[in-house]
Amino acid sequence: MSNTVLTVSEDTLLKMKAHYQSSLQSKVPQGGVFMAKPNGCTITAYKSGKVMFQGSNCDAEVSKWQGKSASQTPKKVNPTNTNSTLPKNFSSLAVIGSDEVGTGDYFGPMTVVASFVEPSQFELLKELGVKDSKELTDDAICSIAKKIVHVVSYSLLVLNNEKYNAMQEKGYNMNKLKALLHNQAIRNTISKLEGKKYDSILIDQFTPPNLYYGYLKGTKEVIRDKVQFATKAEGLHLSVAVSSILARYAFLQQMDQLSEKAGMTLPKGAGAKVDQAAAKLIKSKGFEALRSLTKLHFANTEKALKIAKK
């Protein structure tokens, strides 16, 4: 997908701007509301409500907002509408849900969590504050995560930067890495259930199912039974919301550790602050230091090198 245009409501436009806070560009074209460059994708939003996605890595970004496209669903009556393959009572089932964090951040690892949540846990989890992680601050995420780790069965996988870069250089693209980690995390969680029954597995969709399974070709144990995919899955089952929170928590902890290692606070996202921080590191520790701190193939590396040369 190289060029996609969505038409969204004013409300969504504002939400998008907030969502891409860390990768907002200072330049905005005429008639534009904002321009953002999350990894491998340029997003330009116009006052008309038209939002243009350009670049080789836009699928995931487009899918985040597609259901909110004004032309497709003028009024969102039922949030599960866009995922018609899920049964109506899906939110009340026992589900293993998985999600990943860190894929749009230059610094820090990619973290994936799959967690199992059954109906008897719903009330407690809600009481502990579990909801869509996009509505939670990082501080809230940390405090909720510390409580829910004792409540649910889950598997956390952290792909550190050194490994990420090595695999990326071998030709594993980001979606392939995500697919491998989701599949592995789900396998791990199933093995922890000790016979407990689950009705379904829900993967927060980052690529169409056929591509997901394509990425897993050659993998020994591919979980297919009961697997469903949905975008914005955090809102469809608590298990995905739990996984998002735990994955974000792990990411934040890793960022603290990496910041300590780097001797400076490493910024999140992939915006201008990130370029500056990376340039500082190149100057103080040398280019190779980036290998264990960043996702080297991001455009930030080039920008940082340019800044460091000045």
Positions that interact with Mg ion (CB under 5 A): 99, 204
Hey, what's the torsion of the CAs at 255, 256, 261, 264, to 10 degrees?
Answer: 90
Which residue, 98 or 301, is less far from Mg ion as judged by CB? 98
**Residue 296 backbone phi and psi in degrees, to 5:** -60, -30
Integer CA distances (angstroms), 118 to 145, 186, 233, 237, in order: 17, 15, 16, 10
Cβ at position 178, least distance to Mg ion in Å = 9
Chain residue whose CB lies nearest Mg ion: 204
CA–CA dist 192, 263 (Å, integer): 38
Q: Which is nearer to Mg ion, 247 or 272 (CB)?
A: 247
Answer positive or negative: Cα dihedral of 18, 20, 25, 27: negative
Of 155 and 301, the one with the shorter C-beta distance to Mg ion is 155
Is the Cβ of residue 118 or residue 204 nearer to Mg ion in the bound state? 204
Q: How far is the CB of 146 from Mg ion (least distance, A)?
A: 22
Beta carbon of residue 265, minimum distance to Mg ion (angstroms, whole number)? 25
The 8-class DSSP code of residue 70 comes to T
DSSP 239-304: HHHHHHHHHHHHHHHHHHHHHHHHTSPPPPSSSHHHHHHHHHHHHHH-GGGGGGTB-TTSTHHHHH
Cβ distance to Mg ion smaller for residue 99 or 118: 99
Whichever of 105 and 204 has its CB closer to Mg ion, that residue is 204
Q: How far is the CB of 309 from Mg ion (least distance, A)?
A: 36
Min dist CB 60 to Mg ion, Å, is 8
- Least separation in angstroms between residue 103's CB and Mg ion is 8
Q: Which residues contact 295 (CB under 8 A, 6 or more apart)?
A: 39, 105, 106, 110, 161, 164, 165, 168
